[in-house]
């Protein structure tokens, strides 16, 4: 039996005797595109509240609520993760962008939310995901790659033969235009800020100001805008034939993305190694 509390955010909060600011902030993805860095920029802002790990009072970036098993816990669990619910709360779960479940759920619970999306060259993104999953073995064995422990080329070949559902996998997550168009069915485009990692990482000060403007927040200086979660790459991940093949594979999807945002991204047209 469905809970009535999912009809709207205000009704949810009243039924749970809790209040969450309806102007929620989501950093929805994409995975391996700098979401941790953007989260670090915002989490110290006095008008924003992050979820808290109560054992040590540390900030929690990803709640995996609107896409994932935590949805079953109900809104009371979600609201309880925020200790200052009168502020605008941040949920920076990269899985949301590639999930078919997250957009309708977010639109229903937080229709006034603002969504930040950061993207990067899909070839570099796929390499970064592969590197991450290799480093997290054996925990990553059941994640979205076809041949855990095998090489990059083997994983790409197998995913081409057997794609993942939704927009999962090394390839699926890089089809940005498809994902964004799906989101636009549930939330208007003016509530979404689309950023390109290669561009904002080259001018972090301006990017930070642009994000605050989008969220309609006062400027608060940050001590550091350094990148988070830089990883060392394995020797078998390089711009080889697999990377060049992926560039051809993603070319049509990139053109769709350029049409969606009304411009090209020059950095994606250059051959480059993965960054972080």
5: pLDDT strictly greater than 50? no
Q: Give the model's pLDDT for residue 12.
A: 47
pTM: 0.88
Mean of the pLDDT values across residues 154-166? Answer: 94
Digit-coded pLDDT (tens) for 7-55:
344 454 444 445 789 999 999 999 999 999 999 999 989 999 999 987 6
For all residues of the chain together, what is the average pLDDT? 88
Residue 196 lies in a domain: yes
> What percentage of the chain reaches a pLDDT higher than 70?
86
In this prediction, residues 113-140 reach a mean pLDDT of 95
pLDDT value, residue 226: 76
Residue 27: φ, ψ to 5°? -105, 100
pLDDT of amino acid 233: 59
CB atoms within 10 A of CB 70: 16
Which residue segment(s) compose the domain that 192 sits in? 4-125+175-231+264-269
Strand partners, 58: 53
Structural domain contains residue 133? no
Q: Indicate whether 220 belongs to any domain.
A: yes
Whether residue 84 is contained in a domain is answered as yes
pLDDT of the residue at 236: 52
Contacts of 231 (CB under 8 A, 6+ apart): 128, 131, 132, 135, 276
Q: Is residue 240 part of a domain?
A: no
The β-bridge partners of 193 are 116
* Percentage of the residues of the chain whose pLDDT score is greater than 90: 75
Through-space distance between the first and last CA atoms of the chain, rounded to whole angstroms = 43
Q: Is the pLDDT of residue 172 over 80?
A: yes
- Give residue 133's region: left, alpha or beta (phi > 0; psi -120 to 50): alpha
| CATH code, domain carrying 41 | 3.40.50.300
Number of independent structural domains in the chain: 1
Domain contains 158: no
Phi, psi of 222 (to 5 degrees): -110, 145
Largest CA distance in the chain: 57
Q: In what order do the strands lie in the sheet with 58-60?
A: 58-60, 48-53, 88-91, 25-29, 114-119, 192-196
Question: For 207-216, 225-234, 249-258, which range has the lowest pLDDT when averaged over its residues?
Answer: 225-234
**52-88: pLDDT as tens digits:** 987 666 789 999 999 989 999 999 999 999 999 999 9
Confidence of residue 240 (pLDDT cuts 50, 70, 90): low
Per-residue pLDDT, 274? 45
Instruction: Say if 159 falls within a structural domain.
Output: no
* Cβ burial 73-101 (10 Å sphere, 16+ → b, else e): ebbeebbbbbeebebbbbbbbbbbbbbee
Q: Determine the pLDDT at residue 55.
A: 67
Q: pLDDT, tens digit, for every residue of 111-121?
A: 999 999 999 99
Lowest mean pLDDT among 7-16, 32-41, 149-158, 175-184: 7-16
Distance (Å, rounded) from C-alpha 90 to C-alpha 69? 19
Q: Is the dihedral of CA 88, 93, 99, 101 positive or negative?
A: negative
Q: What pLDDT, on a 0 to 100 scale, did the predictor assign at position 57?
A: 65
Quick one: pLDDT at residue 224?
76
Pairing of strands 192-196, 48-53: unpaired
Residue 44 lies in a domain: yes
- What is the pLDDT at residue 229? 65
């Amino acid at each position: 039996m469905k809970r009535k509390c999912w009809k709207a955010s205000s009704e949810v909060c009243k039924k749970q005797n809790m209040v969450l600011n309806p102007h929620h902030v989501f950093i929805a993805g994409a995975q391996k595109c700098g979401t941790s860095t953007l989260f670090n920029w915002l989490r110290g802002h006095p008008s924003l509240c992050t979820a808290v790990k109560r054992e040590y009072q540390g900030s929690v970036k990803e709640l995996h609520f609107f896409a994932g098993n935590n949805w079953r816990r109900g809104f009371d669990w979600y609201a309880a993760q925020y200790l200052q619910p009168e502020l605008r709360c941040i949920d920076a779960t990269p899985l949301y962008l590639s999930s078919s479940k997250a957009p309708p759920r977010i639109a229903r619970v937080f229709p006034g939310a603002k969504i930040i999306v950061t993207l990067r060259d899909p070839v570099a993104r796929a390499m970064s995901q592969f590197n991450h999953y290799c480093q997290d073995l054996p925990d990553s064995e059941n994640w979205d790659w076809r041949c855990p422990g095998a090489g990059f080329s083997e994983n790409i070949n197998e995913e081409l033969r057997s794609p993942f559902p939704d927009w999962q996998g090394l390839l699926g997550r890089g089809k940005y235009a498809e994902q964004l168009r799906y989101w636009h069915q549930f939330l208007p485009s003016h509530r979404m800020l689309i950023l390109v990692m290669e561009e904002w990482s080259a001018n972090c000060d301006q990017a930070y100001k642009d994000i605050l403007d989008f969220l309609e927040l006062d400027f608060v200086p940050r001590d550091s805008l350094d990148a988070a979660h830089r990883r060392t790459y394995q020797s078998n991940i390089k711009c080889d034939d697999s990377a060049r093949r992926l560039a051809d594979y993603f070319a049509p999807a990139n053109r769709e993305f350029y049409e969606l945002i009304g411009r090209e991204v020059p950095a994606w047209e250059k051959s480059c190694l993965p960054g972080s």
